[in-house]
């Protein structure tokens, strides 16, 4: 709990995957700083708490929290009681509550204040939940499920709305930009959809279809919008990550590497100049978005890397979806 | 394994194991004074039928002492704790670990929220303010700053080996070594601790050592690839055991049980043979990029191969000695010189000082007359570019027993694939010319056998 941590400690890159470990990296040297144990389960999603003290890992029937300040290979808190895989996890920006989505067809809100259950809530849908994302207004949760439905759950009123961008295509990942102006989703057909968001302060946010991208030829796995809202990245089983301009949705870069396999996740740096990707070849890569070069590689996982959490200097609220 | 059918030996091994694993030391006091096995009169040997039986290779001479049971001296003078104590400690640790984790089970809110409460607990932030803040925010990244400071960090050639680090793994079997870095005078005498996952190859271990070395000791200048280095067996004080060749880099680390190894920069002049092999191995690949030139080369190469085969046939009767491993019944490898000439095959052990060789039987020097040798075939190709082959000989012709029909016995060898092929070729060339009666008999016998089996294998399999 000291504030004396040096600059490099404020940049956190955590990776997790199928080898049941979570690794923290020194971004500059590519050296693995710490390996934490995530026993009995793969890591589906990772998220850093707003105060940067804990790392949450969503796995099979658990959400485990690891202390980022102390080198302890074991979790410090274990959230349990979910019957299936937890596929997405994230936090409210003040760290009051945590939201998760799971294959038990539920999105949940967990009250993080000790011994307080006030915020505990469940949102039930009819298909396994693949992804959850919190609107920057902190009171609307977007839930994407395997049957292709996107649910907009207003936490304030319990009102919810549904939309189906494409029938029979599982929604794999969702993202809303920081200004709350647009939302992107990708599905298992490799298609990307973009909506512009219209929000009145009192009314629920309305979605207006804006664009459809043939993002990938195969299964899309993740999408994220850069902090400056200028770029959208989509990752796919076609072994590439693609960066799109949000102005006109033209392809800016295709990030590929000979040994790279499925790309499971990607995260922008705080200034949107770099991108970190996670791939099935067990390597996380740092790409320079100016020229598409690989600047660093983070290799140490024995199996596929499927989840990333990254935290730069800015006090950001990260939402992480599987 | 074959050796365990000797009950006499087995008994003595159990006795030794008992003494060495007993923490109290009582067993030693009680048992060590009298060798029970020796005291049992040989006439009452029903229980220990192995006591008289002598192995043909004198394997068992003086073997009542069984294996040497190693005590790890890394922990000073302390004895190892017993298994029970270790397990108890592990359970204790697990318990402690579990106690440090807070378990939060999902509980649904017993009191449903009213609309007011919900609005209060999940307030909507003002998007206009957020937007304004986001738009005016100066976006800086520590990562960019950091990368700008050292933009052209050279790529560490050993980075790819970092993933073999055993310390960074959970739930994977690992092997630990003390590694002496012989290229650095400062680190020569103090081992670097390296843990590696046990499925890795020796070349991966070399890469991992170089990776760790480059991270921990940036002052040591390393060459740019694992091929420049070899791992030699070393003593715990850092003395390199030069009597042995460096570990085969294609082998898995799990095969070697040494605690200390030394990383040695290989002499590039001695490296030639290896690069030669890899060059030739690469030939089939290069054919893919066909050009007239390559074709011509290929033809010439085929010609060269034919000439080479003829040369081998011509040279076959000349004496040549090979350095191979003989595989004895327990599949232990013993290094031998295999001398082959027109009229005989000699097997002569390479002198070894290892204690362990005492137990797995020193290979006696043996000579077989070429007339008694009946077959020589490759039996197995291994993925690591090694091959084993079998030499079949007629036991009777070799002197010993004169009564009864001759029995065919065999030796199994292992060698580099190319060398193995050459030896088999050489022996077969010699045999072709000699055509002994024994060989005809053997071929007839194996043909009969193969007819029975309805397979077309000639020679032993």
Question: In which domain, by residue range, is A154 found?
Answer: 7-320
Q: Is residue A105 part of a domain?
A: yes
With tokens 């929290």, the residue in question is A65
Digit-coded pLDDT (tens) for B406-415: 578 888 888 8
Contact B141 A158 (CB under 8 A): no
Instruction: Note which residues in 164-193 of chain B have CB less than 8 A from chain A.
Output: 165, 167-172
Mutate to test the interface with B, among A26, A120, A141 (most CBs of B within 10 A): A120
Q: What is the mean pLDDT of chain B?
A: 73
Q: In the predicted model, what is the mean pLDDT of residues B213-231?
A: 82
Instruction: Note which residues in 84-103 of chain B have CB less than 8 A from chain A.
Output: 97, 100-103
User: Smallest Cα–Cα separation from A271: which of A255, A295, A288?
Assistant: A288
Give the CA radius of gyration of chain A.
Answer: 18
Digit-coded pLDDT (tens) for B15-41: 778 777 777 777 776 765 556 656 555
pLDDT over threshold 80, residue B191: yes
Contact B122 A136 (CB under 8 A): no
Of A27, A121, A180, which is closest to B146 when you measure between CB atoms? A27
Please report which confidence band the pLDDT of residue A195 belongs to, taking 50, 70 and 90 as the band edges: very high
3-state secondary structure chain A: CCCCCCHHHHCEEEEEECCCEEEEECCCCCCEEEEEECCCCCCCEEEECCCCCEEEEECEEEEEEEECCCCCCCCCEEEEEEEEEEEEEEECCCCCEEEEEECCCEEEEEECCCCCCCCCEEEECCCCEEEEEECCCCCEEEEEECCCCEEEEECCCCCEEEECCCCCCCEEEEEECCCCCEEEEEECCCEEEEEEEECCCCCCCEEEEEEEEECCCCCEEEEEECCCCCEEEEEECCCCEEEEECCCCCEEEEECCCCCCCEEEEEECCCCCEEEEEECCCEEEEEECCCCCEEEEEECCCCCEEEEEEECCCCCCCEECC
Q: Are B327 and B388 in contact, with CB atoms under 8 Å apart?
A: yes
Q: Is residue A228 part of a domain?
A: yes
Max avg pLDDT among A78-87, A308-317, B22-31, B202-211? A78-87
Please report which confidence band the pLDDT of residue A321 belongs to, taking 50, 70 and 90 as the band edges: very low
Of B106, B124, B141, which is closest to A312 when you measure between CB atoms? B141
Please report which confidence band the pLDDT of residue B284 belongs to, taking 50, 70 and 90 as the band edges: very low
Give the residue from chain A lying closest to B151, CA to CA: A295
Please report which confidence band the pLDDT of residue B59 belongs to, taking 50, 70 and 90 as the band edges: very low
Residues of A in contact with B105 (CB under 8 A): 80-81
pLDDT over threshold 80, residue B364: no
Residue B385 has a pLDDT of 81
**Gap from B386 CA to chain A (nearest CA, Å):** 28
pLDDT over threshold 70, residue B108: yes
Contact A299 B162 (CB under 8 A): yes
* Number of domains comprising chain A: 1
**Gap from A15 CA to chain B (nearest CA, Å):** 13
Residues of B in contact with A11 (CB under 8 A): 142-143, 146
Q: What is the mean pLDDT of chain A?
A: 89
Digit-coded pLDDT (tens) for B366-381: 888 888 888 888 888 7
Q: Does B133 touch chain A (CB under 8 A)?
A: no
Please report which confidence band the pLDDT of residue A3 belongs to, taking 50, 70 and 90 as the band edges: very low
Cα B291-B297-B299 angle, rounded to 5 deg = 105
Q: Is residue A2 part of a domain?
A: no
Of residues A101 and B444, more confidence is placed in A101
Q: Does B216 touch chain A (CB under 8 A)?
A: no
pLDDT over threshold 90, residue B93: no
Which segments within B299-421 are labelled E, that is strand?
320-327, 333-340, 344-349, 366-369, 373-381, 386-394, 408-416
Residue B398 has a pLDDT of 53
Q: Is residue A1 part of a domain?
A: no
Please report which confidence band the pLDDT of residue A40 belongs to, taking 50, 70 and 90 as the band edges: confident
Q: What percent of chain B has pLDDT over 90?
A: 0
Q: What percent of chain A has pLDDT over 90?
A: 68
Residue A256 has a pLDDT of 92
User: How far is A66 from A312, CA to CA, in rounded Å?
Assistant: 18
What's the CATH fold of domain B316-453?
PH-domain like (2.30.29)
Please report which confidence band the pLDDT of residue B113 belongs to, taking 50, 70 and 90 as the band edges: confident
CATH number of the domain encompassing residue A246: 2.130.10.10
Of residues B95 and A262, more confidence is placed in A262
Q: In the predicted model, what is the mean pLDDT of residues A87-100?
A: 93
Contact B140 A270 (CB under 8 A): yes
Residues of B in contact with A269 (CB under 8 A): 141, 143-144
Digit-coded pLDDT (tens) for B224-233: 788 888 888 8
Please report which confidence band the pLDDT of residue B174 belongs to, taking 50, 70 and 90 as the band edges: confident
Instruction: Note which residues in 268-327 of chain B have CB less than 8 A from chain A.
Output: none
pLDDT over threshold 60, residue A244: yes
What's the CATH fold of domain B159-267?
Ubiquitin-like (UB roll) (3.10.20)
With tokens 């300040």, the residue in question is A69
Q: Is residue A30 part of a domain?
A: yes
Digit-coded pLDDT (tens) for A115-124: 778 888 999 9
């Amino acid at each position: 709990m000291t504030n004396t941590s040096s600059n490099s400690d404020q940049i956190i890159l955590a990776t997790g995957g199928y080898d049941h470990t979570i690794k923290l990296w020194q971004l500059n040297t590519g050296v693995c700083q710490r390996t934490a144990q995530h026993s009995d389960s793969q890591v589906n999603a990772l998220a850093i708490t707003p105060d940067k003290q804990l790392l949450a890992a969503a796995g099979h029937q658990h959400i485990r929290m690891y202390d980022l300040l102390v080198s302890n290979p074991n979790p410090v808190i274990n959230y349990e009681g979910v019957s299936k895989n937890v596929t997405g996890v994230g936090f409210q920006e003040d760290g009051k509550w945590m939201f998760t989505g799971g294959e038990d067809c539920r999105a949940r809100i967990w009250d993080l204040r000790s011994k307080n259950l006030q915020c505990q809530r469940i949102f039930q849908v009819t298909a396994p939940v693949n992804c959850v994302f919190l609107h920057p207004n902190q009171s609307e949760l977007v839930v994407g499920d395997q049957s292709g439905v996107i649910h907009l759950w207003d936490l304030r009123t319990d009102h919810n709305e549904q939309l189906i961008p494409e029938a029979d295509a599982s929604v794999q990942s969702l993202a809303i930009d920081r200004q709350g102006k647009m939302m992107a989703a990708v599905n298992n057909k490799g298609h990307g959809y973009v909506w512009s968001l219209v929000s009145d302060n009192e009314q629920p946010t309305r979605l207006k279809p804006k664009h459809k991208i043939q993002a990938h030829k195969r299964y899309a796995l993740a999408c994220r919008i850069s902090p400056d809202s200028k770029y959208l990245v989509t990752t796919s089983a076609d072994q590439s990550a693609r960066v799109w301009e949000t102005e006109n949705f033209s392809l800016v870069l295709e990030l590929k590497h000979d040994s790279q396999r499925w790309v499971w996740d990607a995260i922008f740096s705080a200034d949107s100049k770099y991108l970190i990707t996670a791939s099935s070849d067990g390597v996380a890569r740092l790409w320079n978005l100016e020229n598409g070069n690989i600047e660093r590689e983070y290799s140490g996982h024995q199996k596929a890397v499927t989840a990333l959490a990254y935290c730069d200097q800015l006090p950001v609220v990260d939402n992480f979806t599987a | 394994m074959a050796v365990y059918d000797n009950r006499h030996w087995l008994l003595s091994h159990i006795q030794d194991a008992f003494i060495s694993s007993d923490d109290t030391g009582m067993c030693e006091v009680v048992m060590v004074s009298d060798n029970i096995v020796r005291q049992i009169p040989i006439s009452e040997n029903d229980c220990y039928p192995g006591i008289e039986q002598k192995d043909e290779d004198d394997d068992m001479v003086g073997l009542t002492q069984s294996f040497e049971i190693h005590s790890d001296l890394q922990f000073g003078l302390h004895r190892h704790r017993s298994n029970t104590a270790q397990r108890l400690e592990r359970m204790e640790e697990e318990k402690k670990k579990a106690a440090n984790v807070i378990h939060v089970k999902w509980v649904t809110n017993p009191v449903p929220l009213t609309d007011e409460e919900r609005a209060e607990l999940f307030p909507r932030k003002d998007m206009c303010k957020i937007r304004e803040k986001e738009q005016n925010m100066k976006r800086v990244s520590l990562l960019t700053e950091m990368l700008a400071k050292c933009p052209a960090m050279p790529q560490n050639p050993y980075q790819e080996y970092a993933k073999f680090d055993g310390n960074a793994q959970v739930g994977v079997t690992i092997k630990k070594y003390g590694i002496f870095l012989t290229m650095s005078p400062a680190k020569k005498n103090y081992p670097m601790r390296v843990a590696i996952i046990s499925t890795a190859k020796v070349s991966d271990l070399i890469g991992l050592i170089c990776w760790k070395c480059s991270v921990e000791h940036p002052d040591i200048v390393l060459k740019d690839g694992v091929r420049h280095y070899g791992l030699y067996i070393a003593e715990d004080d850092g003395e390199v055991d030069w009597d042995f060749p460096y570990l085969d880099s294609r082998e898995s680390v799990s095969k070697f049980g040494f605690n200390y190894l030394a990383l040695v920069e290989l002499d590039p002049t001695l490296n030639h043979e290896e690069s030669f092999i890899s060059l030739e191995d690469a030939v089939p690949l290069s054919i893919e990029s066909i050009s007239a030139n390559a074709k011509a080369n290929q033809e010439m190469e085929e010609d060269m191969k034919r000439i080479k085969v003829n040369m081998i046939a011509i040279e076959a009767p000349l004496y040549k000695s090979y350095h191979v491993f003989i595989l004895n019944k327990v599949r232990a490898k013993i290094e031998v010189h295999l001398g082959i000439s027109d009229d005989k095959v000699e097997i002569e052990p390479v002198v070894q000082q290892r204690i362990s060789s005492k137990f797995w039987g020193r290979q006696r020097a043996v000579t077989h007359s070429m007339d008694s040798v009946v077959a020589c075939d490759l039996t197995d190709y291994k993925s690591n570019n090694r091959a084993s082959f079998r030499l079949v000989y007629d036991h009777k012709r070799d002197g010993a027993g004169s009564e009864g029909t001759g029995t065919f016995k065999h030796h199994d060898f292992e060698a580099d694939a190319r060398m193995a092929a050459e030896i088999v070729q050489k022996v077969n060339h010699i045999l072709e010319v000699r055509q002994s009666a024994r060989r005809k008999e053997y071929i007839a016998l194996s043909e009969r056998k193969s007819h029975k089996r309805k397979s077309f294998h000639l020679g032993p399999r």
